[in-house]
Each structure stands twice: as structure tokens, then as C-alpha cells.
Structure 1
Amino acid sequence: MGRPRGYKSNVKAALHETALDLHEAGLIDKETMRRFDESCLTPVRKFTAEEIRALREREQVG
């Protein structure tokens, strides 16, 4: 796996990890995995261009 995931709760983390293992084993399909993602993972925040610019300036990232 890549970066750490944000889970809505410890129970949802355990469920999602199990579903991910089942998906990798070919026992559940992509659509089902997407449903687990939606129900278990915290939503990704959308940033405006201005918020990204301010964040980059604050963190001194070029």
C-alpha cells in the first residue's frame, strides 16, 4: 500500500483492510471495493487554487 489512509473509526479500518485483502485475492470486485472506500475512508478535502498557493507559501515549498 502507498500512503496511510484516514479511517472513520477503528472498526471501519478493520473492515476496510479485510475488504482490501479480499479484493487483492480476487474475491470482491472493484465496484464493491469502491463502496467500502466510500463508507470507511474519510473524504478527501478539496482545496481551491488560493488555498493551495497559501499552503505552499506558508510551508515554503517551491
Structure 2
Amino acid sequence: MSAKTKFKSPAFEAIHSAAAGLFSVDAIPQETMRSFDTACLSSIKDLQPLEIKALREKLNVSQPVFARYLNTSVSTVQKWESGAKRPSGMSLKLLNVVQKHGLKVLV
């Protein structure tokens, strides 16, 4: 794991580190390592519709420009901001990255 990996707590980091060591010497299977990943790593933060709109406005971009950066449609951004749809998967991860680092990471 990289130094930027976020763990739920220092205890979970220690547990994950031990499991990663066991995995590296083939003492545990990949399926078990995935279970440790799920249990120990912090999850992606859900964003509420108002948070998505506030993020876009903070970045001072229009819905079409925001959609272009995120490689999605204007309609999708509108639905996220109105609460008609919720971002998930890679879209949610990308929004979290943009929230933390700004649009410059996408350029």
C-alpha cells in the first residue's frame, strides 16, 4: 500500500500491514487480503447534492464545464445537484479527489 492510503485507525493500519506481509509470502490468499482491504481501509465519503453544488461553485465553474472535467454529461451533474441521482463508484471517487485537490489534478 502507498503512504497515502487511509486507514480507519492506527490499529487497522497495523492489522492491514500484518496481513499484507502474510500475503506477500503467500501465507494468505488474495480473497483474504481483499477482506482485509475492505475491513481496514476507510470508505469513500458520500457527497450530498448541496455538497456537490457547493464544490462546483467553489471551483467557480459552470455545470457544463464541471461535467466536461468529470467526463460526464451536463444532465448527470444536474441530477447529482438536484438529488435525482447519486454519484457512485468511480464518479464518487473522482468527486472526492476533486474536493480534496481541486480540478488541477484532472488537467
Does the TM-score normalized on the shorter chain lie above 0.5?
yes
Greater C-alpha Rg: 2
CA RMSD of aligned residues (A): 2.6
Q: What is the CA distance between 1:2 and its match in structure 2?
A: 3.6
Using a 3 Å threshold, how does the CA distance of structure 1 residues 25 and 41 change in structure 2: closer, same or farther? same
Query: Where does structure 1 differ by over 2 angstroms across 4 or more consecutive aligned residues?
Result: 1-4, 59-62
Using a 3 Å threshold, how does the CA distance of structure 1 residues 6 and 27 change in structure 2: closer, same or farther? same
**Residue 89 of structure 2 aligns with which residue?**
none
Q: What is the CA distance between 1:42 and its match in structure 2?
A: 0.6
Distance 1:36 1:60 in 2: 29
**Residue 25 of structure 2 aligns with which residue?**
25
Distance 1:43 1:35 in 2: 13
Number of equivalent positions:
57
Higher share of residues assigned helix: 2
Structure 2: gaps (5+ residues) = 46-91
Using a 3 Å threshold, how does the CA distance of structure 1 residues 61 and 37 change in structure 2: closer, same or farther? closer
**Residue 40 of structure 1 aligns with which residue?**
40
Q: Contact between 2:7 and 2:13, CA under 8 Å: does it hold in 1?
A: yes
Identity over aligned pairs, percent: 28
Q: Deviations over 1:13-54 (max 9, x none)?
A: 0000000000001000000000000000011352467x85xx
Higher relative contact order (CA 8 A, sep 6+): 1
Using a 3 Å threshold, how does the CA distance of structure 1 residues 40 and 28 change in structure 2: closer, same or farther? same
Distance 1:60 1:18 in 2: 32
Provide TM-score, normalisation by structure 1: 0.71
